[in-house]
């Protein structure tokens, strides 16, 4: 089973912690974010992992080598020349991920005890082109799905923006779900990235929205799980308290 970890971010929300260290190596209760995600993936059965790097990327390479790659097959997708965002990052790593099986993508600054093996298995059973882990937290931006959890659009409830523009929301036939920063993609989806508009740096969510009428993109609501965006100081502190309580 293959996975990719987004570890290339600048970590601007965590400054000054990230002035001299990549976000991926910021410790959460004594263990770097990256280590926690790798071990979570390894526990779920993922044995081949791609890590993208940019900000202080050499520190990530050195750290992984010092840990013997945590006993998994690990490859680096090097974005030190240009930070490509989430969609561009997947496209650049395509050669390292492509094959006959889906792969899971996990933001390094997401800490969750969601069952990643079940998410992956659900993706296989549904035969979706992509499956996005979601939860019901309060946020400004939501994915919009139908009653069968198929992706239909996106909205920013603060600005009122809705995508695609012709979609009507609020709408009783649509559900609002918050993206949890973990998703599974099948190779069938990658062909849509060959379109001219998906070049260089781009985010994965606008890509998903643009192809959701053609591709089968599902959501998988997380149930009874803990979830933290540890890319900002206040939630990093909450995650550390949670990890201490787990010991």
Higher pLDDT, 72 or 17: 72
Residue 138: give its domain's CATH number.
Answer: 3.90.550.10
State residue 224's pLDDT score. 72
| Spatial separation of the C-alpha atoms in residues 212 and 52, rounded to whole Å | 26
What are the phi and psi torsion angles at 182 (to 5°)? -135, 135
Task: Give the least confident one: 25-34, 108-117, 164-173.
Answer: 164-173
User: Is residue 204 within 8 Å of residue 211, measured between CB atoms?
Assistant: no
H helix or E strand, kind and range, residue 204: helix 204-211
178-197 per-position pLDDT tens digit: 999 999 999 999 999 999 99
What does each C-alpha distance from 91 to 4, 79, 187, 211 come to in angstroms?
12, 12, 11, 15
- Which of the four pLDDT bands, split at 50, 70 and 90, describes residue 235? confident
* Total count of domains within the chain: 1
Give the up-direction half-sphere exposure of residue 58: CA atoms within 13 A in the CB hemisphere.
2
State residue 100's pLDDT score. 86
| Spatial separation of the C-alpha atoms in residues 53 and 59, rounded to whole Å | 9
Task: Give the least confident one: 83-92, 126-135, 223-232.
Answer: 223-232
- Average pLDDT on 8-18 reads 90
| Spatial separation of the C-alpha atoms in residues 114 and 126, rounded to whole Å | 19
State residue 245's pLDDT score. 78
Other beta carbons within 10 Å of 100: 6
Computed over every residue of the chain, the mean pLDDT equals 94
- Which of the four pLDDT bands, split at 50, 70 and 90, describes residue 246? low
User: Is residue 39 within 8 Å of residue 72, measured between CB atoms?
Assistant: no
22-70 per-position pLDDT tens digit: 999 999 999 999 999 999 999 999 999 999 999 999 999 999 999 999 9
Structure tokens at 156: 């920013």
Domain that holds residue 213: 2-246
- Which of the four pLDDT bands, split at 50, 70 and 90, describes residue 247? low
């Amino acid at each position: 089973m293959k996975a990719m970890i987004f570890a290339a971010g600048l970590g601007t929300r965590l400054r000054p912690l990230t002035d001299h260290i990549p976000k991926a190596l910021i410790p959460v209760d004594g263990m770097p974010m990256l280590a926690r995600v790798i071990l979570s993936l390894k526990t779920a059965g993922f044995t081949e992992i791609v890590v993208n790097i940019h900000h202080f990327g050499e520190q990530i390479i050195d750290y992984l080598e010092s840990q013997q790659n945590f006993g998994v097959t690990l490859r680096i997708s090097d974005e030190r020349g240009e930070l490509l965002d989430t969609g561009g990052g997947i496209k650049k790593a395509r050669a390292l991920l492509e094959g006959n099986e889906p792969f899971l993508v996990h933001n390094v600054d997401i800490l969750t005890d969601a069952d990643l093996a079940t998410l992956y298995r659900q993706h296989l059973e549904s035969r979706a082109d992509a499956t996005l882990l979601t939860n019901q937290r309060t946020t400004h931006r939501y994915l919009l799905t139908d009653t069968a959890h198929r992706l239909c659009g996106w909205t920013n409830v603060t600005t009122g923006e809705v995508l695609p523009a012709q979609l009507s929301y609020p709408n009783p036939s649509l559900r609002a779900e918050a993206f949890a920063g973990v998703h599974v993609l099948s190779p069938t989806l990658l062909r849509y990235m060959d379109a001219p508009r998906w070049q260089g740096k781009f985010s994965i969510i606008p890509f998903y929205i643009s192809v959701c009428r053609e591709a089968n993109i599902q959501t998988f609501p997380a149930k009874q799980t803990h979830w933290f965006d540890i890319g900002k100081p206040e939630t990093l502190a909450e995650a550390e308290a949670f990890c201490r309580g787990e010991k």
